[in-house]
Amino acid sequence: MKLKLVALSDAHLGEPISLLNYENGRSHFVAELRNLLGSTNGPVPVEQLVLVGDIVDRTLAATKEISDYSDDFFATLAEVVMPEKIVYIPGNHDHTLWTDYRKERFGPESHYISGPYGESIVYGGDVPKSDSAITNLLKLLFAYPNGVSWKEFSSRRCAFVMANPLYAWELGHQTYVFTHGTHFRRDVIQPQRVRKVLESANLLGKLGSLFPSRTDPTMPAFDEMPPLEKFVTPLVDFLWASAGDEPTSWRDSFWYVATRFSFRTEVQRKSPESSERWPQSKLSKAKQIRQLVRDKKFESKSLERWNEFFLVPMMDLLSDYHLATSNLTFVYGDTHEGGYGEYEAKLNGTTSKMRIYNTGSWVTDVKDSHPACHVFVVDEQGNESLADISYKDVKQDGEDLIQLAYRDQEHLSKKLEDDRKLLDSVIQEHWESSTG
């Protein structure tokens, strides 16, 4: 058995709200995924492992924490899949991985985007040790050169690719497009809303230049990807800056405010009775999988913004690289909601038939709710499926794992509500120091 592709997102490694931060969370993930993929005789060969953003939480965890948890996670994942290539697409919580890498390797004014095939970081397991931009990136993700995960992947001569803001791949007549969803988040694509919140909280100050003031409540749509990325990058890299070596910092405080900008509707999801791998043909009838499109209308607000702000530059970039756009499979993360839908996009007189997947998340950010722990899979015949992993009754140190992970978020929220003055001062202090 061999798979063409496996993809997941929003592990948020380093943060205690992630189920994959816990040993039992990772071991359960491995056991369930192995069963769903049928990997009883060792890891399944996979052509591509695609990581669709927010895999590590660089904003809310220190570098050392990220490196340790990331190494543990990838070492665990290597027990289930044996990829020929790993593709990493940064999200909002790990976007600075990309910008730091690009700046260090190519200078502060380097190009913001990669092509849809990504930028090769490691090929055949060989690393140019003199290139600190590459080695620093590998240290954080795989604890290079001595990490268990790095030794595993390098021994298999696995390639490693970074792609921003999207990655594309063709299989037969189908084009697969992966992006995290950062570029159509409400707090990013409509920063005027963020500005209003900051103004009402007397927090705007010198941050005003990052949050444009317009009479129109939305941002003008971009027709091409480079200007969109150039607009988005400064805002994203400030809102979700790297915490560096600090296990807790002003970023934790700012996270609390940033989550309020997102206006996320807290929808509780019941715990699936058991893990199940749903073929694409049955997804529309799967009750625990959210339907993202119904009667040709988007059920998800994020997809409305995707359609308005990201679809045109996405299609333009695919066309520039002569990738077919008539039949698309679009996979994204960010919203943590998971789901599936079908949609027809009509642009410039042509119709693109699309299957849309959201890969959910592994974090407990809604009380008494089971995360949409989804893994997107394409088998050797090109059949698509969505694995939904259940954590029902999984324990850690005798306590329900989901409740244990959520308790960290409750604690942080209460602390920050009581610490409002500190929040004001640290944001202003950071902005002043970062701008000189």
* Predicted confidence pLDDT, tens digits, the chain (436 residues): 799 999 999 999 998 889 999 999 999 999 999 999 988 788 999 999 999 999 999 988 888 889 999 999 999 999 999 999 999 999 999 999 999 999 888 887 666 799 999 999 998 777 877 789 999 999 999 999 999 999 999 999 999 999 999 999 999 999 999 999 999 998 787 655 555 555 544 554 545 555 554 444 455 668 999 989 988 888 888 778 888 876 655 555 555 555 544 444 456 889 999 999 999 999 998 989 999 999 889 999 999 999 999 999 999 999 999 999 999 999 999 999 999 999 999 887 889 999 999 999 999 877 788 999 999 999 999 999 999 999 999 999 999 999 999 887 655 555 555 555 555 554 555 445 444 4
Give strand pairing partners of 279.
385
Structure tokens at 155: 């021994």
- For residues 133 and 412, give the distance between their C-alpha atoms in angstroms, rounded to a whole number: 33
Give the Cβ contact number of residue 241 at 10 Å: 18
Residue 83's φ and ψ, nearest 5 degrees, are: -80, 145
- For residues 420 and 413, give the distance between their C-alpha atoms in angstroms, rounded to a whole number: 11
> How far is the first Cα of the chain from the last one, in angstroms, to the nearest whole number?
57
DSSP code for 182: G
* Strand, coil or helix: 428: helix
Closest CA to 363 of 43, 27, 15, 6: 15
Q: β-strand 297-298 against 276-279: which pairing, if any?
A: unpaired
* DSSP string computed for 308-368: IIIHHHHHHHHHHTT---SEEEEEE-SSS--EEEEEEEEETTEEEEEEEEE-B-SB--STT
Distances (CA, A) of 231 to 150, 306, 422: 34, 16, 29
Domain locations in the chain?
A: 3-184+263-405
Phi and psi based region of residue 14 (left: phi greater than 0; alpha: psi -120 to 50; beta: remaining) = left
CATH number belonging to domain 3-184+263-405: 3.60.21
